[in-house]
Structure formats: structure tokens, C-alpha cells
Amino acid sequence: MTMRKTGGHPDLNVVNPNAAAIDIGSTMHMAAVNPDTDVMPVRAFGTFTQDLHNLADWFRSCGVTSVAMESTGGYWIPAFEILEAHGFEVILVNARRAKNVPGRKTDVSDAGWLRQLHSYGLLRGSFRPEAEIATLRA
């Protein structure tokens, strides 16, 4: 696999060019994809089931393979499960860790910033048990 140098960060290599990210909210999710794949790389989606399937379809049309999401509450669970069912690799990121990464530009949305960090391989997912075990716990 060839790694690309980034334009704005010459010391960082893009290790996951097909990365996407979601800033999870209670009534709206902000999602971001690689700007090279869509004219509107940051979009808002609702939180209903059909909205989440539309989000998955958009990710698929943009060539996304891996999704990082940030949430401080339980609103991430439906999005996580639907995206995982659509075959995406999904990681849940600790919001506090993502916010503390130095170098953030104030004009970049949270979803765009998460996508950028995820594309560089700088995010680590929180522990999430396998689907069967998660179902038993619920």
C-alpha cells in the first residue's frame, strides 16, 4: 500500500485515505468524508433509522471503508450498529482525547477534524465487545 504525503502536514502520512468520521449528536449527526470524493464533504444527517441508512449509502458512494465516531452519550449506538451491519469498520473515539490533539484549526468542523485524524491513523477506538456479547449486556 502506498502512503500519500499530506499537503498541509508534510510530516504526516495518510494511512487511511478512505476514512470518514461522524460527530454524533442527539438530534443530528455531522459526517465528513475525504474532500476528494464529494463536492460537499461534510453533511448533516438526522438520527432516525432511515437517516442512518442514508448516511451508510453516502459513505459507500464516497468509497469509505472505515468510520470514526465521537460521542459522549449513548446516541452513538444505533449509528454504530447500522454502519457495522453495512460492512464498515467502525471505531468509537473518546471525545476528550480527540479534542486534546494539538494543531486543530478553529474553522474545521468536529467531523472534519476527526476524519483528518482518522486518515492519519491517529485515533484509537474505545473497547466495544463483539455484537453477540453487547446484545447480552443490553
Q: Does domain 16-137 have CATH number 3.30.1280.10?
A: no
Q: Is it the case that residue 137 has pLDDT exceeding 60?
A: no
pTM: 0.80
Cα–Cα dist 79/69, whole Å: 9
pLDDT tens track for 89-114? 999 998 665 555 555 554 457 899 89
Q: How big is the CA angle at 98 (ends 93 and 100), to the nearest 5 degrees?
A: 150
